Amino acid sequence: MTEQRTPLVEMKNISISFGGIHAVDNASVDLYPGEVVALLGHNGAGKSTLIKILSGAYRRDAGEILINGEPAEINNPRDAKKYGIETIYQTLAVADNVDAAANLYLGRELRTPWGTLDDVAMEAKAREVMGRLNPNFQRFKEPVKALSGGQRQSVAIARAILFNARILIMDEPTAALGPQETAQVGELIKQLKREGIGIFLISHDIHDVFDLADRVSVMKNGQVVGHARTEDVTKDEVLGMIIMGKVPPKAIPGPGAMQMA
Amino acid sequence: MADTTDTAHFNRARNAAESPVKRFFRATEIDTRLLGMVGAMLIIWIGFDFLSNGLFLTPRNLWNLSVQTASIAVMATGMVLVIVTRNIDLSVGSILGFVGMIMGVLQAELLPQLLGFNHPATWIITLLAGLALGAAIGALHGMIIAFLNVPSFIVTLGGLLVWRGATWFVTSGRTVAPMDATFRLMGGGTEGSIGATASWIVGLIACLAIVVSILNARKQRKRFGFPRRPVWAEYLLSAVGCLLVLGAVTIANSYPWPTNIARRYAEANGIAWPEGGLFIAHGIAIPVLIAIVIGIVMTFISTRLRFGRYVFAIGGNPEAAELAGIKTRWVTVRIFALMGMLCAVAAAISTARLNAATNAQGELDELYTIAAAVIGGTSLAGGMGTIAGAMLGALVMQSLQSGMVLLGIDSPLQRIVVGVVLVTAVWLDTVYRARAK
């Protein structure tokens, strides 16, 4: 890495194990402002687990996390939010039974001076944000359960940008979407990038994210195979990293790289 | 960026709008499910009235019905929050029994020794102690559920046994009576009703509140330029709301005091006894008033406060709620503490009504409370339920029971009917929800 700026996020030598299985083993990744880093790997390669440590859902066994070059204590989702880390989960973590506005503000509701929920103000803001993201969205009064996959995804993304996220984690952001909605999410990612937000994209499908990402980090069996700039490698080479752990010449090998004979 | 599913739904909505009935419900935003329950209840009422030759729909019976419903209705409001978060509370009947017994001993045996007999502060000290005890028991259950990860079914099943047993130990099974005179007002009866004038005042305040809240909601939506209900719908809702309130007050005010009590009252106050007897109306019973106030407060908590929002979010998706930074464990503790407090209120109502605290008080109440919440549309899968629905559910259950008593149906058969109705109601609800999707 030739960049001299301080990384937005630096996860150093992170390890976590569940019942003796090393889900993540000595993994290091970093992310710069306005950069999109794709975290790739098979199902079970440890990428979701690694990122859940950053978002506070899991607590690491070892290693450290630096935010803007300073050590960060992230022990739960609330801590992560304090550092401007917002996550959009693969399972679209929305509460199905309440409406879009309630989901956007879940955990950080706007309140009137009397301490009651200010639903009208929340709906107004929700209409504004959703209008920017997805102008067709009109169903503010319905529980999120009634929405399509793409609409739910836009609710989840709106939720993240509503709170001025600086670091956005998107787990399989387009897995549940049709082609049109995927393109929409792609546009959105470019827009967020211009605003200087750092984005981690997590996917097991290289085609989903290769064109959106500036860099890729590949994981296999809980270890980092290597990092590479997308301009330096081809899709096939990255595929080789994912499947066999074979690191192409222009990539930087990690601890999980296949040992060359 | 045409969203195909969105437009499809739009068209569907437009097609639906062509039916005048559907347009009516959309314009008024009336909950059709709740309306269906009201309809079912009216059918039950009219059916019983027909079978009992006009005994059911009398002011006297309806007034009694309202008093009998109060205790279960109070607990059902809390049970909604418990069930919405995918928990259950089987211990409410036993908590009612235990707290009722403690309150009984406190006001009948301990406080008279300290303060003297019939001291004016007796009732409030008793009630506050009861509320604190109920909240503490509930919080204990909640903490075991939330922090020790024992399923609520088991914790409260244990609670059912423990608190029933503890009730016995307080007085070794002896019934405690009588209750304090002021405390007894919470149980209703001739004394425990607020009379005609006060009932009209309460009714008018309620009407005013309905109109003000509808106006206020409209103003708020206007301020942010959101779609509003048509004006005729607003008028209709206000009119129907006020009519219902005033109708209920009229019924409560049509039920006179029994002749001998009225005669005693006339003598005590030096009123000459008129030819046709003295008509003194009961008005709204105090326990009913308590239940209504609790219903309003609980509705406020569940829809207007952050706590209520969290309760529903946890019910909808516990993981999402946790990831959103909600302290889900503490919310669980608070829900159960609230449930315990409501049990204490129900205990006050039922001990006051019985004028005694007994060992068996509140037995099977947990089942009636859960049934009321479930009949009222609370989904055991979590995330769905309303306070008003649960209270209506309590009224439906009580209507069935007192109707069958009126018809002289044997109590084993009564239980069979209630059981069958419970299962049928939930089945119908499942069908309705499957259709609504």
Q: B233 or B3: which carries more pLDDT confidence?
A: B233
B309 with A180: Cβ contact below 8 A: no
B324 with A107: Cβ contact below 8 A: yes
Closest partner CB to A136 (pick from B3, B220, B226): B3
Question: B92-105 and B59-84 helices cross at what angle (nearest 10)?
Answer: 120
How far, in Å, are A33, A92, A204, A219, B368 from residue A58 at the CA level? 24, 18, 21, 18, 42
pLDDT of B14 over the 60 cut: no
pLDDT of B320 over the 70 cut: yes
pLDDT digits (tens, 9 = 90+) for B293-309: 999 999 999 999 999 99
Dist. CA A242–CA B208, nearest whole Å: 68
pLDDT at B437: 58
pLDDT digits (tens, 9 = 90+) for B123-137: 999 999 999 999 999
pLDDT at B275: 77
Contact between residue A197 and residue A165 where contact means Cβ atoms under 8 Å apart? yes
A134 with B3: Cβ contact below 8 A: yes
pLDDT digits (tens, 9 = 90+) for A141-157: 888 888 877 778 778 88
CB burial readout A131-161, b (16+ within 10 A) else e: eebbebbbbeeebbbebbebbbbbbbbbbbb
- Sheet containing A62-67, strands listed edge to edge, beginning at the edge strand earlier in sequence: A21-31, A9-18, A62-67, A70-71
Contact between residue A5 and residue A32 where contact means Cβ atoms under 8 Å apart? yes
Dist. CA B57–CA B49, nearest whole Å: 6
pLDDT of B15 over the 60 cut: no
**Mean pLDDT for the stretch of residues A226-247:** 88
pLDDT of B13 over the 50 cut: no
**Mean pLDDT for the stretch of residues A157-185:** 80
**Mean pLDDT for the stretch of residues A83-96:** 79
Enumerate residues 6+ apart whose C-beta is below 8 A from A11: A27, A28, A29, A30, A50, A53, A54, A63, A64, A65, A66
Lowest mean pLDDT among A16-30, B55-69, B195-209: A16-30
H, E, C per residue of A70-113: EECCCCCHHHHHHCCEEEECCCCCCCCCCEHHHHHCCCCCCECC
How far, in Å, are A108, A116, B307, B311 from residue A111 at the CA level? 9, 5, 12, 17
Enumerate residues 6+ apart whose C-beta is below 8 A from A143: A96, A97, A98, A99, B316
Q: B266 or B243: which carries more pLDDT confidence?
A: B243
Dist. CA B112–CA B118, nearest whole Å: 7
Nearest Cα residue in chain B from A115: B305
Express as a percent the part of chain A with pLDDT over 70. 95
H, E, C per residue of B9-23: HHHHHHHHHCCHHHH
Model pTM score: 0.84
B6 with A137: Cβ contact below 8 A: yes
User: Which chain A residues are within 8 Å of B312, Cβ to Cβ?
Assistant: 95, 97-98
Dist. CA B390–CA B96, nearest whole Å: 19
Q: Which CATH number applies to A1-84+165-261?
A: 3.40.50.300
Contact between residue A23 and residue A17 where contact means Cβ atoms under 8 Å apart? yes
Express as a percent the part of chain B with pLDDT over 70. 95
pLDDT at B226: 78
Dist. CA B138–CA B338, nearest whole Å: 7
pLDDT at B220: 81
User: Which chain A residues are within 8 Å of B86, Cβ to Cβ?
Assistant: none
pLDDT at B3: 42
pLDDT at B196: 92
Distance from CA of A109 to the nearest CA of B (A): 7
Beta-ladder partners of A203: A40
pLDDT of A173 over the 80 cut: no
User: Which chain A residues are within 8 Å of B6, Cβ to Cβ?
Assistant: 136-139, 148, 151
pLDDT digits (tens, 9 = 90+) for B218-238: 888 888 777 778 888 889 999
DSSP string over A148-166? -HHHHHHHHHHHHHHTT-S
Q: B44 or A108: which carries more pLDDT confidence?
A: B44
Dist. CA A203–CA A115, nearest whole Å: 41
pLDDT digits (tens, 9 = 90+) for B412-426: 998 898 899 889 888
Domain residue extents for chain A: 1-84+165-261, 94-164
Dist. CA A215–CA A201, nearest whole Å: 10
Dist. CA B168–CA A54, nearest whole Å: 54
Q: B42 or A161: which carries more pLDDT confidence?
A: B42
Q: For chains A and B, what is the number of CB pairs under 8 angstroms?
A: 104
pLDDT digits (tens, 9 = 90+) for B33-43: 888 889 989 99
pLDDT of A90 over the 70 cut: no
pLDDT of B12 over the 50 cut: no
Q: What average pLDDT does chain B have?
A: 90
Q: What ipTM was reported for this prediction?
A: 0.74
Contact between residue B79 and residue B372 where contact means Cβ atoms under 8 Å apart? yes
pLDDT digits (tens, 9 = 90+) for B345-358: 999 999 999 999 99
Q: B59 or A152: which carries more pLDDT confidence?
A: B59
pLDDT digits (tens, 9 = 90+) for B328-343: 999 999 999 999 999 9
